[in-house]
Amino acid sequence: MKQLIVFIKKEFLQVFRDKRSLLLLFGLPIAQIVLFGFALSNEVKNSKIVVVDYSKDAVTSQIIRKIAASKYFNIEQSMQSADQLQAAFKKGAIKMAVIFPANFALNLQHTGKASMQVIADASDPNVATTVVNYVTQIVNSYNGQLSSLSAQPLQIVPEVQMMYNPQLLGAPNFIPGVMALVLMLVCTMMTSVAIVKEKELGTMEILLVSPFKPLYIIIAKLTPNLFISIINYFIIIILSAVFLDLQVKGSLLLLTFCSILFILTSLSIGLLISIGAKTQQAAMMGSLMGMMLPTMLLTGFLFPVENMPIALQWLANFVPSRWYFIIVKQIMLKGLGIASVWKETLILLGMCVLLFTISLKKFKIRLQ
């Protein structure tokens, strides 16, 4: 036991001696949380659009005014004809074009119906659907004004309540996701590279021939990383509370416990990578090229897991950050207790124990 403490002390000394790396370890997650928390959102707004009005009457200018007043759109320019549309779309200058045919108001008045054309750039389907929805809503509310003049019968009025995030901000969704992403990648990478470095330098051999238990070596190697990651976790929690107004609604203790579990799981993955990799370069490519994109996509904060094909949903179940992401949302945003996250917590615990045991076994094999 005393040996272990000495060993852990040495690891801490080494980590804290390299000031530049330390700065990176703490500074980077902070910068990322702040940047992502403020800048990212799923909301589509300020979309640049162009309006082509062949009619130029009272009705079209009223609808255009409504569109212009919406925060969702920035009317870039008014085109005289639709001929330049193709060019504008190809330049990527606009996301949508709204075209009013000639005699718009006249048609509306006489036939009771007028059609406007909306062309969306569907090279980004999500934005396209959303902007078309927005315009439709605006036009519907205009129709509502028209029809209220002639009293519609049988009106169903939906009353909508947006729970947990009434303003539909991006941060509540992204912060848990980024927390999961950053903690996982940083832990995995730090651990795998730190151990492979000892291999490359040959110091690992010395440790392995010492009477030290392999378990102790692993514990000593992981402790500083665990410590740094926990500090990072608290920094993220504080930053989101102070800057992004996202306080932990549920139990901080529970969230911290789950986070430590998640950190340990990520450290174990790093350990496993380090056992397979021969060079620092391979370890890094493994933990970055191999993990960054799958973690980003399969965690579920960019794309809902339920929408994926069954095979990928199944695959996503093996990504620890997927479970952690759910836990953070439940505890931090919804303020729920252990009753609602026990399943996810157990899964993380299982992953952690399994990965750690495998790495320990593999580590022992190297000894003989």
Partner 1 sequence: MKILLFLLEKEFRQILRNKQMIPLLLIAPVIQLVLLPLAANYTIKNISIAVVDNDHSTFSRELISKITASGYFRLTGYTAFYNEALSLVEQNKADLALQIPVNFERNLVRENSAKVFIAINAIEGTKANLGGAYLASIISDFNSDIRINWPAAPAASDPPQVAVISSYWYNPFMDYNLYIVPAILVTLVTAMAALQSAFNIVQEKENGTIEQINVTPIKKHIFILGKLIPFMVLGIILFTLGLFIAWLLYGIVPAGSLLTLYGSLIIYLFAMLGFGLLISTYSSTQQQAMSLAFFFILIFNMMSGMFNSVDSMPQWAQTIVQTFPTSHFIKIMRMVVLKGSGFSDILYEIGAMFVIGLILNTWAVLNYRKTTG
Q: Which of residues 147-206 bind partner 1 (CB under 8 A)?
A: 147, 149-166, 168-170, 172-173, 178, 181-182, 185, 189, 193-194, 197
In this structure, is the dihedral angle defined by the CA atoms of residues 212, 217, 220 and 221, taken in order, positive or negative? positive
Residue 89 beta carbon to partner 1: minimum distance, rounded to whole angstroms? 6
Helix axes 58-69, 104-111, angle to 10 degrees: 110
Residue 267 beta carbon to partner 1: minimum distance, rounded to whole angstroms? 16
Given candidates 296, 349, 358, 360, which one binds partner 1 under the rule CB under 8 A?
296
Given candidates 3, 78, 115, 210, which one binds partner 1 under the rule CB under 8 A?
115
Interacting span for partner 1 (CB under 8 A) from 135-143, 218-226, 230-238, 250-258: 135-143
The structure tokens 């391979």 sit at 282
Which tokens in the block code for residue 96? 């949508």
**Residue with Cβ nearer partner 1 (83 or 306):** 306
Q: Is 64 in the site for partner 1 (CB under 8 A)?
A: no
Residue 182 beta carbon to partner 1: minimum distance, rounded to whole angstroms? 8
Residue 357 beta carbon to partner 1: minimum distance, rounded to whole angstroms? 26
Count residues contacting partner 1 (CB under 8 A)? 128
Given candidates 288, 338, 349, 358, which one binds partner 1 under the rule CB under 8 A?
288
**Residue with Cβ nearer partner 1 (2 or 20):** 20
Which residues sit opposite 78 in a β-bridge? Answer: 51
Given candidates 108, 219, 239, 360, which one binds partner 1 under the rule CB under 8 A?
108
Centre a 10 Å sphere on the Cβ of residue 287 and count the other Cβ atoms it contains.
Answer: 26
Which tokens in the block code for residue 128? 């396209």
Subset of residues 203 to 222 that bind partner 1, contact rule: CB under 8 A: none
Task: For residue 29, give the nearest of 187, 170, 172, 169 by alpha carbon.
Answer: 187
Given candidates 50, 52, 63, 184, which one binds partner 1 under the rule CB under 8 A?
63
Distances (CA, A) of 23 to 31, 222, 228, 271: 11, 19, 11, 23
Subset of residues 320 to 339 that bind partner 1, contact rule: CB under 8 A: 326, 329-330, 333-334, 336
Given candidates 77, 124, 243, 353, which one binds partner 1 under the rule CB under 8 A?
124
The three-point CA angle 330-241-349 to 5° equals 40
Contact between 141 and 262 under an 8 Å Cβ cutoff? The reply is: no
Residue 6 has, within 13 A of its CA and on its CB side, a CA count of 4
Alpha helix locations (H) across 210-334?
214-243, 252-276, 280-288, 292-298, 310-316, 320-328
Binding mask 17-56 for partner 1 (x = CB under 8 A): -x-xx--xx--x--xx--xx-xxxxxxxxxxx--------
**Neighbouring residues of 30: CB distance < 8 A, sequence distance ≥ 6:** 232, 235, 236, 239
DSSP letters spanning 326-360? HHHIIIIIT---HHHHHHHHHHHHHHHHHHHHHHH
Subset of residues 77 to 106 that bind partner 1, contact rule: CB under 8 A: 87, 89-92, 95
Subset of residues 301 to 320 that bind partner 1, contact rule: CB under 8 A: 302-304, 306-309, 311-312, 315-316
Residue 34 beta carbon to partner 1: minimum distance, rounded to whole angstroms? 11
DSSP element (H, E) containing 47 = strand 47-53
Given candidates 238, 285, 346, 354, which one binds partner 1 under the rule CB under 8 A?
285
Given candidates 64, 75, 132, 360, which one binds partner 1 under the rule CB under 8 A?
132
**Residue with Cβ nearer partner 1 (190 or 261):** 190
